[in-house]
Amino acid sequence: MLARRLRPAAARWTSQWSRGYSSQLSSSSGTPDLDASKLTIETTATPKPLLDPKELIFGRTFSDHMLSVEWTAQDGWLAPRITPYQNLSLDPSTCVLHYAFTCFEGMKAYKDADSRIRLFRPDRNMHRLNRSAARIALPTFSSDAFISLISRFVNLEQRFIPSQKGYSLYLRPTLIGTQKTLGVGPPGSALLFVIASPVGPYYPTGFKAVTLEATEHAVRAWPGGVGDRKLGANYAPCIVPQIDASRRGFQQNLWLFGEEGYVTEVGTMNMFVAWVNEDGVKELITAPLDGTILEGVTRESVLALARERLPAEGWKISERKYTIAEVKKAAEEGRLLEGFGTGTAAVVSPVKGITWRGQNIEVPLSPGKETGPLAQKFWDWMCEIQYGETKHDWSYVVPESK
Ligand SMILES: *Cc1c(COP(=O)(O)O)cnc(C)c1O
């Protein structure tokens, strides 16, 4: 892949910029790619007690082990290791701490009714992590090799996957630059690791529709920026606008873009709206992947299911720009049908209201419910596939480790 690995630092440096970060996704350079067959496993001597599933808090407790693979520009990907979960030791000058050389994924391992472990479209997460990595000069890797390593890891950690439907093991693959230097340049070393956190259902007592505040004073992503990649650098700047919205009583903020007020994303989820459009056609709409939208696996899956199953009911499915003013107008004219966010954590998150410039746009729900009919449908369809209740190519059964 990246030819710069074979060249001296100065040459690497210029070519890096002159290429304008052209991101190639194959790892076939002179240095070794990720090799799952080189995995070594050191198991913990002190297994953790399992928490009562009802007490699980998202991302707070972790499984016994972690998976790590180091990379150097000189030697490529080194032998992968599963070790007891432990602290990292980083020199204070490590580049990730200063210049945010970090990208990550969010995915889940599910236990089906036959106690088999399943992942949902892991190839999509691998593809996205490689694209994120390439954008910040971190090394890319073989998706298949990493899926097989993750499979070995979740096999080892399977006692942490609660069997009840709605529960899962949240997986956090992360890639960081580990070069010790304050110089701003492509990291000469990196660490890819995966940690795992058992999680309960996002809606333990059924859907809870949320209210949003449309944010105009801050922008999440912009054309030519990196909002379409899962980079650590994208998240810290979003916290203050979210706190501002929550101080005013809203659960999430809705990110708008530009003078037109284009609707982009909700918190850290993709946003969908259903309305009867100006032509009188029922339309499910989400913003297009124009570089400012995170390429959500849930978004992609909801779109695919919608295109396959909804046209029969008269729905048009659109990926195109739409504005908050159009949403408001649709609501005023009684054409707004539904709104919801999508993401791995919640699957779908129904919206009941959006406040924009001090005015409330009411978003309809099914009578007496905390969700609309479409959000409910997508949630059902996605969960059936994720938990292996219906057979589908998207559900990957983790092979048992020998
Ligand atoms: C991760 C993420 C999403 C959702 O992606 P999924 O793959 O569906 O989990 C949407 N928006 C942002 C900003 C995200 O970080």
When pLDDT is cut at 50, 70 and 90, the band that residue 29 belongs to is: low
Cα(92) to centroid(ligand 1), Å:
30
Residue of the CA atom closest to atom 15 of ligand 1: 268
Which residue, among 286, 294, 344, has the nearest Cα to 59 in the 3D structure?
A: 344
Task: Give yes or no for residue 29 CB within 6 A of ligand 1.
Answer: no
Cα(44) to centroid(ligand 1), Å:
32
- pLDDT for 310 equals 96
Task: Give yes or no for residue 136 CB within 6 A of ligand 1.
Answer: no
Task: Give yes or no for residue 270 CB within 6 A of ligand 1.
Answer: yes
- Any idea of the CA torsion for 306, 308, 310, 312, to the nearest 10 degrees? 170
**Residue from 172, 235, 269 whose mutation best tests the ligand 1 pocket (most atoms within 8 A of CB):** 269
Cα(13) to centroid(ligand 1), Å:
31
- Per-residue burial over 338-375, b = 16 or more CB atoms within 10 Å of its CB, e = otherwise: bbbbbbbbbbbbbbbbbbbeeeebebebeeeebbbebb
Task: Give yes or no for residue 268 CB within 6 A of ligand 1.
Answer: yes
Does the pLDDT value for residue 52 go beyond 90?
A: no
Does the pLDDT value for residue 19 go beyond 70?
A: no
Instruction: Note the residue count of the chain.
Output: 402
Cα(364) to centroid(ligand 1), Å:
24
pLDDT tens digits for range 333-361: 999 999 999 999 999 999 999 999 999 99
Ligand 1 atom with minimal separation from the 345 CA: 9
For the residues 239-249, what does the mean pLDDT come to? 95
Q: Are strands 282-286 and 347-356 parallel, antiparallel or unpaired?
A: unpaired
Task: Give yes or no for residue 214 CB within 6 A of ligand 1.
Answer: no
- Cα distances from 96 to residues 73, 99, 125, 176, in angstroms, run 16, 6, 21, 6
Cα(38) to centroid(ligand 1), Å:
32
pLDDT tens digits for range 288-326: 999 999 999 999 999 999 999 999 999 999 999 999 999
Give the single-character DSSP code of 51: P
Does the pLDDT value for residue 56 go beyond 90?
A: no
Ligand 1 atom with minimal separation from the 300 CA: 8
Cα(396) to centroid(ligand 1), Å:
20
- pLDDT for 22 equals 40
Does the pLDDT value for residue 369 go beyond 60?
A: yes
When pLDDT is cut at 50, 70 and 90, the band that residue 392 belongs to is: very high
Task: Give yes or no for residue 349 CB within 6 A of ligand 1.
Answer: no
Question: Please, what are the domains in the chain?
Answer: 3-199 (3.30.470.10), 210-386 (3.20.10.10)
CA torsion sign for 364, 370, 373, 374 is: positive
Does the pLDDT value for residue 26 go beyond 70?
A: no
Q: What is the DSSP string of 167-211?
A: -EEEEEEEEEE--B-SS-S--SEEEEEEEEEEE--S-BTB---EE
DSSP β-bridge partners for residue 271? 341
Q: How far does CA 2 lie from the centroid of its chain?
A: 25
Dist CA 105 CA 231 (whole Å): 9
Task: Give yes or no for residue 343 CB within 6 A of ligand 1.
Answer: yes
- pLDDT for 165 equals 85
Dist CA 330 CA 375 (whole Å): 19
Dist CA 272 CA 293 (whole Å): 12
pLDDT tens digits for range 126-170: 999 999 999 999 999 999 999 999 999 999 999 999 988 889 999
Ligand 1 atom with minimal separation from the 297 CA: 7
Mean pLDDT taken over the chain: 92
Dist CA 165 CA 155 (whole Å): 18
Does the pLDDT value for residue 284 go beyond 70?
A: yes
The interaxial angle of helices 143-156 and 122-135, nearest 10 deg, is 120
Q: What percent of the chain has pLDDT over 70?
A: 93
Residue 284 three-state SS:
strand
Beta carbons within 8 Å of 194's beta carbon, 6+ residues apart: 66, 67, 68, 149, 150, 153, 171, 172, 173, 174
- pLDDT for 23 equals 41
Cα(296) to centroid(ligand 1), Å:
5
Task: Give yes or no for residue 296 CB within 6 A of ligand 1.
Answer: yes
Which of these ranges, 14-28, 63-77, 295-309, 334-348, has the smallest mean pLDDT?
Answer: 14-28
Does the pLDDT value for residue 4 go beyond 80?
A: no
- Cα distances from 151 to residues 30, 39, 194, in angstroms, run 27, 12, 11
Dist CA 386 CA 348 (whole Å): 13
Dist CA 294 CA 135 (whole Å): 14
* Half-sphere exposure of residue 12: CA atoms within 13 angstroms, side-chain side: 15
Which of these ranges, 10-14, 98-102, 165-169, 255-259, has the smallest mean pLDDT?
Answer: 10-14
pLDDT tens digits for range 377-389: 999 999 999 999 9
- pLDDT for 258 equals 97
Cα(199) to centroid(ligand 1), Å:
17
Does the pLDDT value for residue 91 go beyond 90?
A: yes
Does the pLDDT value for residue 16 go beyond 60?
A: no
